Amino acid sequence: MKLICIGDSIVDGFPFERDVSFPAVIKSKAGWDVLNKGISGQSSADINIRFGYEADAGADIILILCGANDYIFDICGVDETVENIRSMAAYASKKNIRIAVCSPPLCRPAQAAVCWADCDISAYEHVNSQLKDLSCRLRSLFDMDKIENSRFIDVQELYADYAKYHDGVHPTVEGYRLIGEYIATELTAK
């Protein structure tokens, strides 16, 4: 089984080495060929632009996790993020590649305002509001089999209970492990 994980810094494993990223954990747990195609700082539009190239590398499943940068950097709103992800899923569907779409974890506003980017806590609270909306919309779109060969994995809900961050935005090493183990279990479940 070949899995391509595509997305932003959460997929990349920032700020740590890729060998502790959640795609590395999936590879270890599932025993699959897993490629980490996360690029820190990318928006859903950036990922959508390179998606076809990455998808054409040959995969059985492509996992998409993105959206946080859209709101942290005020690049676009939830509608555009959803449309970018829908576009990626449509491309994969045409290629008969299964898709797993993950909701990004929320940030921890007080910690992010100090450790990530010096701004008002309310800005990160607004980011969380958008991330929650994104998760609801993705669940509705992908969890109800509206797009063939796709599924939704709720990383946001999982991580909300754990909520340990390196900088208020990115998980700790243990957090990446938790996410990877959860996704591996979800992807390998029959």
Nearest CA to 165 among 109, 123, 103, 102? 109
**Cα distances (Å, whole numbers) of residue 66 to 26, 31, 37, 42, 160:** 18, 24, 12, 8, 17
3-state secondary structure of 89: helix
Q: Is the bond preceding residue 15 a cis peptide, omega within 30 degrees?
A: yes
Which residue matches tokens 């506003």? 109
Residue 20: φ, ψ to 5°: -115, 5
Q: Is the pLDDT of residue 118 over 90?
A: no
CATH homologous superfamily of domain 2-188?
Answer: SGNH hydrolase (3.40.50.1110)
Nearest CA to 67 among 151, 116, 2, 10? 10
Structural tokens at position 3? 């899995």
Per residue in 37-50, is it b (16+ CB within 10 Å) or e — as a string?
Answer: bbbeebbbbbbbee
Q: Are 66 and 44 a contacting pair, CB within 8 Å?
A: yes
Prediction pTM value? 0.96
Whole-number pLDDT of residue 144: 59
Q: Is the CA virtual torsion 147, 150, 154, 156 positive or negative?
A: negative
Per-residue pLDDT reduced to its tens digit, 88-106: 999 999 999 999 999 999 9
Q: Where are the domains of the chain?
A: 2-188
Per-residue pLDDT reduced to its tens digit, 21-68: 999 999 999 999 999 999 999 999 999 999 999 999 889 999 999 999
Instruction: State how far the Cα of 108 lies from the Cα of 106, in Å rounded to an integer.
Output: 7
